[in-house]
């Protein structure tokens, strides 16, 4: 058994420098690997270029290339991301000849919704198909009490990590999603609820938060995720605040710092175990970045404060990680981190080796964490009837379609 991780000593500045230098090297390696799984370019079969997913600078360059003035960027940005239009003819502040010129050269795309299912609890799951035929799932989880809700977005088709409790992890990584495909999931979900133009200021939003918790490990597709989130946060377009976006990672330590510095969005960490030997098994990435390194990165995370806590995700597996000793060790490990702990009842899937913890055990675990001063909600599973709950995405829908259409 590996030694229990200690949370008591804080690293000296020279050891922190050494960690950061190692991280920089690792980061370069991770980003180079991500490039091997790049998404297709934004050029259509007919040669037109998709404008969704471009930064403002890239959009300006394209406009200048076709002889237009840079100020057009602001106009187009407004129509694409504030008004949500996909048709140049609806851009009433742009003269007809320019509308036509734009339509000949560009498109404003959305991923195609191959299926849309709405659960009895109103959770809605979209299976989006991208231009090369690859697919990923997006889930909208409405708040039951208020007119708002979270959109759970995928970052990759498949996943390289093989967390043993996760059905998605049984599907190999096919490729990363591009910025257009990541932003496109959110825009298409908003199309589905007709939530355009983008609500501003105090006007409530139905699709009010984003959680990067769908298929894939977002920090293994960092560049595309960062570009997409900058587009979504841009105040002249969708304008979603960084406080309303949460990235969930299994603990890709070298990119946690960069995400905090560059995006300042909220962080959720899939912890799931309090001992390295067990976490090595449940979340195999732990063999590379063990618990103590993940928690040190959480302590450094710039966007963490009492108002913006780090969320630790903890899946409750009966007889595996749900003892009272585990709960006590958890609170010892995260002591001093502004944090909350989301307890997730395991959602069984065919072939999985685990069973969900009993309700009594979940409650005992939650009490210990709460009495130590951390919020510890037991998350009610949502969208189970449409296989939209945590860890059930994609492979399950593939399986369902395969059984509907046997070869």
Dist. CA 365–CA 378, nearest whole Å: 10
Long-range contacts of 236-239 (CB under 8 A, 24+ apart): 236/74, 236/77, 236/78, 236/81, 236/82, 237/77, 237/78, 237/80, 237/81, 237/82, 237/198, 238/81, 238/82, 238/186, 238/187, 238/198, 239/82, 239/198, 239/200
Q: How far is the CB of 266 from ligand SF4 (least distance, A)?
A: 17
CB closest to ligand SF4, residue no: 169
Catalytic residue among 58, 122, 137, 152: 137
Q: How far is the CB of 218 from ligand SF4 (least distance, A)?
A: 9
Secondary structure (DSSP) of 326-394? HHHHHHHHTTTS-EEEEEEE----TT----BPPHHHHHHHHHHHHHTT----BPPP-SGGGT-STT-TT
Q: Is 311 helix (H, G, I), strand (E, B) or coil?
A: strand
Q: What element of type H or E holds 243?
A: none
CA angle 89, 93, 98 (to 5 degrees): 55
- Compare residues 172 and 355 and give the one whose CB is closer to ligand SF4: 172
- Compare residues 159 and 389 and give the one whose CB is closer to ligand SF4: 159
Q: How far is the CB of 104 from ligand SF4 (least distance, A)?
A: 40
Active site residue 58: no
- Compare residues 84 and 169 and give the one whose CB is closer to ligand SF4: 169
- Compare residues 108 and 215 and give the one whose CB is closer to ligand SF4: 215
Q: Is 30 helix (H, G, I), strand (E, B) or coil?
A: helix
Give the tokens for residue 260: 């905090």
- Compare residues 107 and 291 and give the one whose CB is closer to ligand SF4: 291
Secondary structure (DSSP) of 81-106? IIS----GGG-TTS-HHHHHHHHHHE
Residue numbers at the binding site for ligand SF4 (CB under 6 A): 159, 161-163, 166, 168-169, 215-217, 250, 391
Q: How far is the CB of 221 from ligand SF4 (least distance, A)?
A: 11
Active site residue 390: yes
Rg from Cα positions in the chain: 22
Q: How far is the CB of 222 from ligand SF4 (least distance, A)?
A: 14
Dist. CA 233–CA 378, nearest whole Å: 30
- Compare residues 85 and 316 and give the one whose CB is closer to ligand SF4: 316
Q: How far is the CB of 18 from ligand SF4 (least distance, A)?
A: 27
Catalytic residue among 152, 166, 259, 390: 390
State the catalytic residues.
137, 390
């Amino acid at each position: 058994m590996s030694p229990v991780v200690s949370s008591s000593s804080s690293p000296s500045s020279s050891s922190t420098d050494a960690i950061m230098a190692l991280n920089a090297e690792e980061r370069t390696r991770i980003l180079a690997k991500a490039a091997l799984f790049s998404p297709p370019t934004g050029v259509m079969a007919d040669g037109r270029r998709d404008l969704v997913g471009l930064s403002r600078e890239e959009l300006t360059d394209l406009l200048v290339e076709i002889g237009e003035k840079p100020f057009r960027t602001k106009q187009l940005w407004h129509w694409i991301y504030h008004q949500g239009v996909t048709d140049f003819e609806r851009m009433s502040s742009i003269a007809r000849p320019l509308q036509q010129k734009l339509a000949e050269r560009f498109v404003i795309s959305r991923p195609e919704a191959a299926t849309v299912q709405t659960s009895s609890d109103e959770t809605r799951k979209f299976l989006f198909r991208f231009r090369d035929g690859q697919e990923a799932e997006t889930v909208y989880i409405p708040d039951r009490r208020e007119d708002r809700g979270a959109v759970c977005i995928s970052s990759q088709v498949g996943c390289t990590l093989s967390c043993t409790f996760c059905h998605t992890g049984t599907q190999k990584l096919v490729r990363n999603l591009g910025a257009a495909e990541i932003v496109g999931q959110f825009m298409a979900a908003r199309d589905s609820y007709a939530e355009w133009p983008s609500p501003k200021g105090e006007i409530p939003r139905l699709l009010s938060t984003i959680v990067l918790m769908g298929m894939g490990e977002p920090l293994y597709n960092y560049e595309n995720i960062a570009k997409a989130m900058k587009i979504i946060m841009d105040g002249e377009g969708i304008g979603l605040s960084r406080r309303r976006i949460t990235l969930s990672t299994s603990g890709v330590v070298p990119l946690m710092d960069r995400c905090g510095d560059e995006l300042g969005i909220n962080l959720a960490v899939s912890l799931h175990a309090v001992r390295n030997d067990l976490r090595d098994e449940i979340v195999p990435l732990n063999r590379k970045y063990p618990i103590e390194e993940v928690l040190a990165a959480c302590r450094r995370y710039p966007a963490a404060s009492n108002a913006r806590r780090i969320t630790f995700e903890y899946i409750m597996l009966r007889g595996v990680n749900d003892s009272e000793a585990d709960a006590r060790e958890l609170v010892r490990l995260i002591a001093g981190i502004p944090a909350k702990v989301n307890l997730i009842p395991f959602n069984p899937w065919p072939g999985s080796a685990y069973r969900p913890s009993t309700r009594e055990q979940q409650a005992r675990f939650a009490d210990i964490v709460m009495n130590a001063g951390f919020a510890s909600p037991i998350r009610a599973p949502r969208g189970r009837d449409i296989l939209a709950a945590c860890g059930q995405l994609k492979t399950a829908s593939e399986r369902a379609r395969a059984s509907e259409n046997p070869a």
